[in-house]
Amino acid sequence: MLSDDTRLRILVLLYHKELCVCEMCGIMEESQPKVSKHLAKLRDMGLVKDERQEQFIFYDLNIHDKVLMDILKNIVDNKDNYETLKKDIDKSRHAEKYLESCRV
């Protein structure tokens, strides 16, 4: 599960906050079908949960496994070693105006 770059990127983003598909696509610069496909896998594995809010579906982590959460925390704490993850996290922090436009 963590060996796939896209799924890892999604989990790291969701580690920080709940997001919808359009937000993740904007941050990751990936297509909606690709992100949705990986979210479906993560949901099927029970690692993310979804909640519909009007026309959007928002995703959040649903991880109750301490070991997996510790692994994600370790990755996030060492994001400077992972250029793509660092870029995603930085973009998500600086994209609040874009992210809010998806939620209106």
List pLDDT tens digits, range 1-12.
778 999 999 999
In order of 42, 53, 76, 81, 101, the CA distances from 87 in angstroms are 22, 28, 12, 11, 21
Q: What is the pTM of this model?
A: 0.86
Kindly state the tokens that stand for 12.
């790291």
Domains of the chain, earliest start first: 5-103 (1.10.10.10)
CB 8 within 8 A of CB 48: no
pLDDT one-digit tens code per residue, 32-62: 999 999 999 999 999 999 999 888 899 999 9
Distance CA 71, CA 54 (A): 33
In order of 40, 60, 85, the CA distances from 28 in angstroms are 17, 16, 9
Rounded to 5 degrees, what angle do the CA atoms 2, 64, 6 make? 25
